[in-house]
Amino acid sequence: MNEQKEFKPYIPAEKVTPEITITSILMGILLAVVFGAANAYLGLRVGMTVSASIPAAVIAMGVIRVIMRKNSILESNIVQTIGSAGESVAAGAIFTLPALFLWASEGKMDKPDILEITLIALLGGLLGVFFMVPLRNALIVKEHGVLPYPEGTACAEVLLAGEKGGANASTVFAGMGFAAVFKFIVDGLKAVPSEVNLRFKGYAGEVGTQVYPAVLSVGYICGPRISSYMFAGGLLSWMVLIPIIVLFGEQLILYPGTAPIGEMFATGGASAIWSSYIRYIGAGALAAGGIISLIKSLPLIVRTFKDAVKSMTAGGNTSTARTAQDLSMKVILICIAACTLAIWLVPAIPVTLLGAVIVVVFGFFFATVSSRMVGLVGSSNNPVSGMAIATLLVTTVLLKITGDVGAHGMQGAIAIGSIICIVAAISGDTSQDLKTGFLLGSTPKKQQIGEVLGVVASALAIGGTLYLLDSAWGFGSEELAAPQATLMKMIIEGVMDNNLPWGLVLIGVCIAVIVEIIGIPVLPFAIGIYLPVQLNACIMVGGIIRLVFDKMKKEEEEKKSIISDGILFCSGMIAGEGLVGILLAVLAVFGVGEVLDISGVLNLPTWAANIGSLVVLVLVILSVLKFSIWKKRKKA
């Protein structure tokens, strides 16, 4: 508490500078939509999203400080506050809502309309912000010095390094440009294949790598440890489990497969076995991993919730200083009540009164948990999927007991799970943003308004984005595996219909338990089992680049600068590839994609096409080196 009294933000409370302006609102909304769409595409491909706060902060600083010649750090902070909300809404939505599209493709129900998706995303996002407002004083202010909030603190450091804003912003934009070109060559023109594979004669295993800039960038940002866990999971699937299934089951027809395993492998290769069997094993491992991470966090969860409630009932924040002003609690309570009634009463949202009560109870609980977790271990380690799984299990059981089954029950369960998932994701993001504002001296009320603006903008965009991606490639396809949403779908079906291949799922659960016992983080390993090995290998390439940078024998400040530039460039590449992915989806929907395809004109032999793919991968690696370790730096 004494530390809090002594803390002085960068901009003192008594000094007033521009924060919410037309510039900051428009830039923030643009970035919310851009990073929301890019993260939606990335998450549906690889099952992971990346934080948009730092790239958004860098772009804001580059535009406001360098181009517009305005010295307004708090205005830049509002831009990143609004902009980062898009990534969190996208993360919560893509982990759950594609399940509705998958059921529609199976003929179990109609496709969700854009209004339903928008309202679910909007109400989940708003509840996440509103739940976090009364927790700010307890977790951000009173726990300053205890909860580091790593992304929030890093974002404040980026904004404080304003004199570097122009150079850093150019690095992000360069990443966007390079990735856009590579993505267009690979998936637009189809000049080279998107992956290179190595098969073994007489052995059913298969390895290979994709050549996508965004996938490599995920590996660089996550680092070598997480990348290696994912790659290890992929190797287990594709070099151990698939060969075992083919070796012992060649003549067998095993559910959910519909043909002899040997015949499936002969016609579809290892991918056919992965699609029919390995995905269920991976789903079991993912579910177990999410629940294990939640159980391990239980002591922290209980303590956090008790402390937060105690702080709120003790009177909360009574300071009248500018840097202590939150949105009115009366307004917050009215808004929460209105959102709850909307979840229950709006026809477009298939949720009963029981479901609305579950949303509020679980939502506030997991908002508290999420905020505390990201404060300690960062947003990347926030067990959002574990919270969603726990919610879905409880919700589906309760709905089944009360007779709400069939299509309506499944829709209701996924809607509740989606809102909770978005609440948890937005609460964590809002916490990091409020920590950044606390360090810089922002007005909390204005940041909270910024979060609401970001949620509204990204919710309006996410429905169209999901429809576009589904129309172009379809969820559950090789292009858009949608691993978390597929897992949520399996859980609900398993409870409602009891039609899962439980043997395969339990194999995955046992693998997850073994991995946890030997001390390996379960979730990245489980994601590796679930996703194609080619994708995991490309992530591993990015992890290896990061490992090389981490081991460089350079002065600490120079090494830190090189790694930071690499992260900014890779963040730009993720955004650039995501945006071109959305553009190609538009072209595919309108039938223009086939016109761009030059693969038939080139008609390269397999060996030449593979060399072309490897050349693209090498160029991607060289571009990362060019804008990090080979970047020209001004001497201080």
Q: What is the pLDDT of residues 166-222, one digit of tens each?
A: 567 788 888 889 999 999 999 889 899 989 999 988 899 999 999 999 889 888 988
Which residues neighbour 82 within 8 Å (Cβ) at sequence distance 6 or greater?
24, 25, 27, 28, 29, 31, 32, 450, 451, 453, 454, 457
The more confidently predicted of residues 59 and 566 is 566
**What pLDDT does 319 receive?**
61
Tokens at residue 164, please?
Answer: 């570097």
pLDDT exceeds cutoff 90 at 87: no
Mean pLDDT for the stretch of residues 556-565: 88
Three-class SS of 249-284 = HCCCCCCCCCCCHHHHHHHHHHHHHHHHHHHHHHHH
Whether residue 239 lies inside any domain: the answer is no
429 inside domain: yes
> Can you give the residue range of the structural domain that contains 88?
1-200+347-500+560-636
Range 122-133 average pLDDT: 94
Residue 372, domain member (yes or no): yes
pLDDT at 621: 96
**Banded model confidence at residue 240, pLDDT cuts 50, 70, 90:** very high
Q: Which of 596, 586, 473 is nearest to 189 (CA)?
A: 596
Distance CA 332, CA 327 (A): 7
**Least confident stretch, 371-375, 445-449, 554-558:** 371-375
Instruction: Give 558's contacts (C-beta < 8 A, 6+ positions apart).
Output: none
Residue 635's pLDDT band, with cuts at 50, 70 and 90, is very low
| Cβ burial 377-395 (10 Å sphere, 16+ → b, else e) | ebbbebbbbbbbbbbbbeb
Q: What is the largest CA-CA distance in the chain?
A: 78
Q: Where is 199: in which H helix or E strand?
A: strand 195-200
Q: Which of 367-376, 391-400, 594-603 has the lowest mean pLDDT?
A: 367-376
102 or 404, which is more confident? 102
CB 556 within 8 A of CB 16: no
Averaged pLDDT for residues 555-580: 86
The residue-averaged pLDDT of 139-155 equals: 79
Does the pLDDT value for residue 349 go beyond 60? yes
Residue 419 maps to a domain: yes
Band (4; pLDDT cuts 50, 70, 90): very low
- Where residue 603 falls among pLDDT bands split at 50, 70, 90? confident
Mean pLDDT in the chain?
85
Does residue 317 surpass a pLDDT of 60?
A: no
Q: How many structural domains are present in the chain?
A: 1
463 — phi, psi (to 5°)? -65, -50
Nearest to 156 by CA among 86, 80, 63, 49: 80
Mean pLDDT of 277-301: 78
Instruction: Quickly state the pLDDT bin for 289 (edges 50, 70, 90).
Output: confident
- Count of residues for the chain? 636
Mean pLDDT, residues 78-84 taken together: 92
Place of tokens 């927790």: 135
Contact 101, 337 (CB under 8 A): no
In a domain, 99, yes or no: yes
Question: Domain for residue 56, yes or no?
Answer: yes
Residue 165 has pLDDT above 60, yes or no: no
Contact call for residues 289 and 522 (beta carbons, < 8 A): yes
With both helix axes pointing from N to C terminus, report the angle between 556-589 and 22-46 in degrees, rounded to the nearest 10. 80
- The answer to whether residue 1 scores a pLDDT higher than 50 is no
> Distance between CA atoms of 435 and 148, rounded to whole angstroms?
9
In a domain, 227, yes or no: no
- Cβ neighbours for 632, distance < 8 A, ≥ 6 positions apart: none
In-domain check, residue 427: yes
Name, in order, each residue with C-beta under 8 angstroms of 313's C-beta and a sequence gap of 6 or more. none
Whole-number pLDDT of residue 548: 94
Structure-model confidence comparison of residues 294 and 193, the more confident one: 193
